[in-house]
């Protein structure tokens, strides 16, 4: 009671007061994040280990996963969705990101006029709702009312038009390209920002050494924006393996024709919520969600621990 601890104790090492305010300031965010992100995630993982047996929710261990990968039907659906998802991702990596880099490189040319207008126009689709994008493209590609058969007719290419969204061979590519059209603004913006970040001195030094034009892009600028490209790749990966909305609006929940555009997101939706006469199966839905989570986790870890460490960063 009598000897209250003194803060002016000079004999021991200087004791810092507990910085309780850090915890207090972190707490609201931590609570909100846990409630809306961590808890649902844990609940999903837990649900994937349970199934309804005789009307009772019962712990079945990895039984659901055994069904998903062991049962011929489930496995077919799953691998089909995964395969389509991988193709979806590859198309984005091969088309969206290179175009994004190219557009950013062109926009950052100092002599380009109306750069702001182009930038806005290209970025605009990203701001549109996927419902609008899906609807617009369904109309554009419609063989009956669509503007594309008409335009192709004008230049004599009508014979090359086909109902792309309705054919099993072309539907997935068509949907992927619609998605590319919508999201190409994001890599463009990120790369554009990275390009603007390159200091003038570096460029000037390169010019003094006679590195100009294309070789300047390949040898100076591209290595400097590699970290940004890495970030974009990982964003594309996460976005694509979580994708659902565009396929759902353009092709419906059955992701036809013949399951050609079925990706993990639509498979999860059908399984978890059910469709038409099909009743929702929460346990199997959670199982698919868990597998999706693991796939994305694996991809992100690969990037963080293997690739990102090898990318060299330049300090100016």
Partner 1 sequence: MTRNAIKGLLLASSILGTAGFAQAQDVTLTVESWRNDDLAIWQEKIIPAFEAKNPGIKVVFAPTAPTEYNAALNAKLDAGSAGDLITCRPFDASLELFNKGHLASLNDLPGMENFSDVAKSAWTTDDGATAFCVPMASVIHGFIYNKDAFDQLGITVPATEAEFFAALDKIKAEGSFIPMAMGTKDLWEAATMGYQNIGPTYWKGEEGRKALIKGEQKLTDEGWVEPYRVLAKWKDYLGDGFEAQTYPDSQNLFTLGRAAIYPAGSWEIGLFNTQAQFKMGAFPPPVKNAGDSCYISDHNDIGVGLNAKGANQEAAKKFLTFVASPEFADIYANSLPGFFSLNSTAVKMADPLAQEFVSWREKCKPTIRSTYQILSRGTPNLENETWTESANVINGTDTPEVAGEKLQKGLDSWYKPAK
**250 CB-near residues (< 8 Å, 6+ apart):** 134, 137, 138, 165, 175, 178, 261
> Which tokens hold the place of 93?
């990596």
CB of 221 to partner 1, least distance (A): 42
Binding of partner 1 by 143 (CB under 8 A): yes
Binding of partner 1 by 166 (CB under 8 A): yes
Stretch that binds partner 1, among 19-27, 184-192, 216-224, 266-274 (CB under 8 A): 266-274
Binding of partner 1 by 275 (CB under 8 A): yes
Binding of partner 1 by 239 (CB under 8 A): no
Q: How far apart are CA 38 and CA 41, in angstroms?
A: 5
Q: How far apart are CA 299 and CA 109, in angstroms?
A: 34
Binding of partner 1 by 70 (CB under 8 A): no
Binding of partner 1 by 140 (CB under 8 A): no
What 3-state class would DSSP assign to 316? coil
CB of 25 to partner 1, least distance (A): 24
User: Judged by CB under 8 A, which of 238, 256, 293, 299 binds partner 1?
Assistant: 256
Binding of partner 1 by 78 (CB under 8 A): no
Q: How far apart are CA 203 and CA 213, in angstroms?
A: 11
CB-based contact 191:102 (threshold 8 Å): no
Alpha helices per DSSP H over the chain: 20-33, 39-47, 63-70, 72-91, 97-107, 115-127, 130-140, 147-154, 171-183, 185-197, 200-208, 213-216, 222-241, 245-251, 264-273, 282-301, 308-310
Question: Pattern of binders to partner 1 over 87-126, x per CB under 8 A?
Answer: ----------------------------------------
CB of 240 to partner 1, least distance (A): 23
Residues near partner 1 (CB under 8 A): 72-74, 138, 141-145, 149, 162-168, 252-254, 256-259, 270, 273-281, 284
């Amino acid at each position: 009671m009598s000897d209250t601890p003194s803060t002016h104790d000079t004999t021991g090492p200087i004791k810092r007061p507990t910085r309780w305010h850090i915890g207090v300031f972190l707490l609201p965010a931590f609570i909100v994040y846990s409630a809306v992100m961590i808890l649902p995630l844990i609940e999903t993982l837990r649900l994937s280990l349970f199934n309804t047996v005789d009307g009772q929710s019962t712990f079945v261990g990895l039984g659901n996963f055994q069904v998903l990968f062991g049962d011929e039907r489930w496995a077919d659906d799953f691998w089909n969705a995964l395969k389509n998802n991988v193709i979806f991702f590859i198309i984005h990596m091969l088309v969206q990101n290179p175009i994004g880099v190219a557009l950013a490189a062109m926009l950052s040319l100092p002599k380009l006029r109306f750069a702001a207008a182009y930038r806005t126009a290209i970025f605009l689709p990203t701001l549109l709702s996927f419902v609008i994008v899906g609807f617009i493209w369904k109309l554009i590609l419609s063989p009956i009312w669509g503007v594309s058969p008409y335009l192709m007719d004008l230049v004599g290419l009508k014979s090359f038009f086909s109902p792309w969204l309705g054919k099993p061979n072309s539907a997935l590519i068509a949907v992927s390209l619609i998605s590319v059209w919508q999201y190409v603004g994001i890599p463009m913006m990120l790369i554009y920002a990275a390009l603007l970040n390159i200091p003038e001195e570096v460029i000037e030094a390169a010019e003094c050494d006679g590195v100009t034009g294309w070789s300047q892009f390949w040898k100076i600028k591209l290595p400097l924006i590699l970290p940004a490209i890495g970030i974009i790749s990982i964003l594309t990966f996460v976005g694509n393996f979580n994708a659902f909305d565009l396929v759902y609006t353009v092709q419906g929940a059955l992701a036809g024709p013949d399951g050609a555009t079925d990706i993990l997101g639509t498979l999860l939706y059908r399984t978890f919520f059910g469709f038409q006469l099909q009743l929702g199966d929460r346990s199997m839905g959670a199982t698919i969600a868990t597998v999706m989570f693991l796939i994305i986790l694996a991809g992100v870890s690969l990037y963080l621990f293997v690739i990102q460490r090898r990318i060299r960063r330049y300090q100016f």
